[in-house]
Amino acid sequence: MNGLAKGGIITSFIGAGFSCIFGLLFILAGTISFGFSSIGGLSSGIFIIIGVLSLILPIVIIVTGAMALSKGSNQARIACGIIALVSILFSWAAYFIPFLLFLIGGILTLCGKKN
């Protein structure tokens, strides 16, 4: 795996860290506001769903990226890049930094080639 793919995976790791932190904050905000919601828990449920998705997808990125870096697996590299690009759909909730890091990391990972 060349440096382009390794740099993309590491960039995705950094974005995953930011996204996990914000995902925990969303889950915390959803559970705290659950009892105070005037709509019957609808808005707090949305916070919890976005928080869980902001936690699950970055964990999958970290696992597939670690497999790609340690074993040099081309399938894990492609999976990590695709999941990083799919994570863009939910990283908007964690503001601009994870969105940009997932975008750059996913593109670099998919543009890299196996040696």
CA 98 from centre of chain:
7
pLDDT at 34: 64
Question: CA 110, 3, 84 angle in degrees (round to 5)?
Answer: 35
64 burial via Cβ count (<10 Å: 0-12, 13-18, 19+): buried
Buried-state track 10-48, b at ≥16 Cβ within 10 A, e below 16: bbbbebbebbbebbeebbebbeeeeeeeeeeeebbeebb
Whole-model pTM?
A: 0.84
Per-residue pLDDT of the chain (115 residues; tens, 9 = 90+): 788 899 999 999 999 999 999 889 888 888 877 666 555 556 777 888 888 888 998 999 999 999 999 998 889 999 999 999 998 887 777 778 888 999 999 999 999 887 7
